[in-house]
Amino acid sequence: MNENMRVVVAEETPSVMHAADELASFLGTVTGRRIPVGRERAKGVNLLVGPAAARLADPAFDAGGLGAEGIVLRSAGNDLILAGGHPRGTLYAVYTFLEDYAGCRWWTEKASCVPANPGFAVPKELNIRHVPALEYRWPFWTHINASADLAVRNKVNGPDRLRDPKYGGRMSHGGVHTFSRLIPPAKYFGEHPEWFSELQGRRTHERAQLCLSNGDMRRELTRELKAFIRGNPEPAVYSVSQNDWEGYCECAACRALAGKYGWQSGIMIWFVNQVAEEIEKEFPSASLSTLAYMYTRSAPTGIRVRKNVIVQLCSIECSFSAPLEHERNLAFQKDIRAWSKVADRLYVWDYVTNFRHHVLPHPNLRVLGPNVRFLAAHNVKGIFEQGAYTTRGAEFAELRGWVLAKLLWDPSLDGGRLIREFVEGYYGPAAGPHVLRYIDLMHDAVEAGNDHLGCFSEHTAAFLSFENLAAGWKLLAAAEAAAEGSPEYLPRVQAAQLPVMYAFLMRWNEMRGRAKQIGAAWPLAEDIRAVHAAFLRIARSEGMTRLTEWIEGFGALDDAVKKAGAGS
């Protein structure tokens, strides 16, 4: 136990000051004592926060090579240096110390673990240096996007709420699917139809792209983008990317350029490179981003991506019940290897939910760790993990958000261990083992069936059989019984039951028929209206407002329940 422990901060950088305050606050909770914050070292143990404070004990301390986010945890006699690169490294050093040595965990914005330890002592002989392999890390879930504190404590650097300098800012990206924003059809099509795609012999702007071979259009887009950057200097990265549909230009000039550079990704890079060259002249620190998505997913030939252009490769067609290195994902493997040879800054836009049924069982947890490691090993510098971002209450959203945050910070971590740690901490030591068995059941089922688990999978997927769902419900009912009487754990376990309830409700009569056919007991309440009401009550208490990415409300479920009632 360290009786005389104090936090020392020697600079007024907002993020370093906030790091010092966070350290003192959480250590105060851990030890049960007030931890003072000062500007000078004193007798006892000094926790030296930030590079300037580090130099009080080690005048030669140098943050060079740490970039914006690298960390150092290093003993200096009785003192401990907690410092890092500017602007976020010192924050991350403090949170690493609190996690790894004080046992703190921040599961969600409302759920955390800060264990009481009155005898806490600062460890001796620490010498840790870590620079994250991924410069851009964003598990894109509603609860993470809603809380800057949750994001920064878990070393996520994408959400808008991190703009406040005390959080060290963010890795800002200026949107996606921007062609129609940069060259709005309502403004330009009437006078310049030649700036838009030629499809089947005519120019159109409806579900179309831009005519990338048109120099006048490119110059106007560049002019518009420069004007936008002047008015919005905060984003570090500005998107010049295709609209979210097909409709690429088929004119002779575009076809010739596409053929020259290996098809549609080639003309896209040719176009974005030229815009980026002009942007760099006025804004040398700005970068542009574009997509390798749908018709541009395959890498180009005969052309390299400029150093100030980020290519974001999308995995939307992949099977997410198997790792990216699995034979089912050979096409993606080929694409990422090719892109990594022509792009210095390669990002990946990955998909970790079911956009058609956010609350349906989606057993992809086992691939999260292998996938992040696979991407990091292929020269990927940033990963955007798109989850359910338009609602709360999606299947295991909190679990995925936390596990992904940890993996993105350090891809070498064991994904299975992280899953177990979260489940046992979030659902409780009594209920957690039952939840883990349910997770294993669903993953074993999808793997045994060799199912393609897409990000738009239907509720009729083969692994969602009566037998699997009934077995899953039994495990989740046991978890509920184990959490009974706990106002902390019981609501979380009940929320974990929603996916199985939803799967039954969407196919009620079919499931009832199967139970009767095999002589199995019905696992839920007999009355569909009671199950429906329970689902809605729990879902709304979780903040769920929709079942899909696109449509507000619970209409599809309500319709399925009405249809089942009419047909029973």
Residues 446 and 541 in one domain: yes
- pLDDT beyond 90 at 175: no
CB atoms within 10 A of CB 44: 13
CB atoms within 10 A of CB 45: 17
Which phi and psi angles does 132 have, rounded to 5°? -60, 140
Q: Beginning with the edge strand found earlier in the chain, give each strand of the sheet holding 45-49 in spatial order.
A: 37-38, 5-9, 45-49, 79-84, 71-76, 127-130
Is residue 202 a part of any domain in this protein? yes
Residues 116 and 181 in one domain: no
Could you give the percent of the chain with pLDDT greater than 90?
Answer: 96
Number of domains the chain is built from: 3
Residues 525 and 451 in one domain: yes
Residues 96 and 181 in one domain: no
Please check whether residue 144 is in contact with residue 151, taking contact to mean a CB–CB distance below 8 angstroms: yes
- pLDDT beyond 80 at 286: yes
Residues 123 and 176 in one domain: no
Residues 187 and 124 in one domain: no
Q: Average pLDDT for residues 6-30, to the nearest whole number?
A: 97
Last residue of a domain, one of 252, 287, 322: 287
Residue 501's identity, in one-letter code, is M
Residues 210 and 103 in one domain: no
- pLDDT beyond 90 at 568: no
Average pLDDT of the chain to the nearest whole number: 96
pLDDT tens profile 22-31: 999 999 999 9
Residues 118 and 187 in one domain: no
Expressed in angstroms, the distance from the first to the final Cα of the chain is 67
Q: What does the pLDDT read at residue 256?
A: 98
Strands 112-113 and 5-9: unpaired
**Max CA distance (Å), the chain:** 81
Q: What does the pLDDT read at residue 543?
A: 97
Is residue 375 a part of any domain in this protein? no
Is residue 371 a part of any domain in this protein? no
Residues 104 and 213 in one domain: no
Last residue of a domain, one of 107, 131, 155: 131
Angle at the Cα of 274 from the Cα atoms of 273 and 279, rounded to 5 degrees = 95
Q: Average pLDDT for residues 211-235, to the nearest whole number?
A: 93
Counting other chains too, the contacts that 482-489 makes at CB distance below 8 Å and 24 or more residues apart are 482/428, 482/430, 482/431, 482/434, 483/427, 483/428, 483/430, 483/431, 486/428, 488/111, 488/428, 489/427, 489/428, 489/430, 489/431
pLDDT tens profile 536-551: 999 999 999 999 999 9
Q: What does the pLDDT read at residue 1?
A: 58
Last residue of a domain, one of 287, 306, 328: 287
pLDDT tens profile 134-174: 999 999 999 999 999 999 999 999 999 999 999 999 988 87
Is residue 39 a part of any domain in this protein? yes
Radius of gyration in angstroms for the set of CA atoms belonging to the chain, rounded to a whole number: 26
Is residue 270 a part of any domain in this protein? yes
Q: How many helices (H) and strands (E) does the chain have?
A: 20, 17
pLDDT tens profile 474-489: 999 999 999 999 999 9
pLDDT tens profile 301-346: 999 999 999 999 999 999 999 999 999 999 999 999 999 999 999 9
Q: Average pLDDT for residues 40-66, to the nearest whole number?
A: 95
DSSP of 136-163, one letter per residue? EEEEE-HHHHT-HHHHHHTT----GGGG
Nearest partner of 376 among 415, 347, 402, 417, judged by Cα: 347
Is residue 544 a part of any domain in this protein? yes
Model confidence at 236, pLDDT cuts 50, 70, 90, reads confident
- pLDDT beyond 90 at 48: yes
Model confidence at 232, pLDDT cuts 50, 70, 90, reads confident
Q: How far apart are CA 264 and CA 256, in angstroms?
A: 10
Residues 22 and 126 in one domain: yes
Residue 12: exposure state from Cβ atoms within 10 A (0-12, 13-18, ≥19): exposed
Q: Is 198 helix (H, G, I), strand (E, B) or coil?
A: strand
Q: Beginning with the edge strand found earlier in the chain, give each strand of the sheet holding 287-292 in spatial order.
A: 136-140, 380-386, 346-351, 309-314, 287-292, 237-239, 173-174
CB atoms within 10 A of CB 519: 6
Contacts with 399 (C-beta within 8 Å, 6 or more apart), sequence order: 365, 419, 422, 423, 426
Residues 203 and 127 in one domain: no
Q: How far is CA 216 from CA 5, 193, 208, 219, 273, in A?
A: 65, 12, 18, 5, 16
DSSP of 384-398, one letter per residue? EEE---S-S--TTHH
Residues 71 and 184 in one domain: no
Is residue 451 a part of any domain in this protein? yes
CATH of the domain at 55: 3.30.379.10
Q: How far apart are CA 440 and CA 463, in angstroms?
A: 13
**Which residues span the domain enclosing 91?**
5-131
Strands 105-106 and 112-113: antiparallel
Q: Average pLDDT for residues 53-71, to the nearest whole number?
A: 96
pLDDT tens profile 406-448: 999 999 999 999 999 999 999 999 999 999 999 999 999 999 9
Is residue 361 a part of any domain in this protein? no
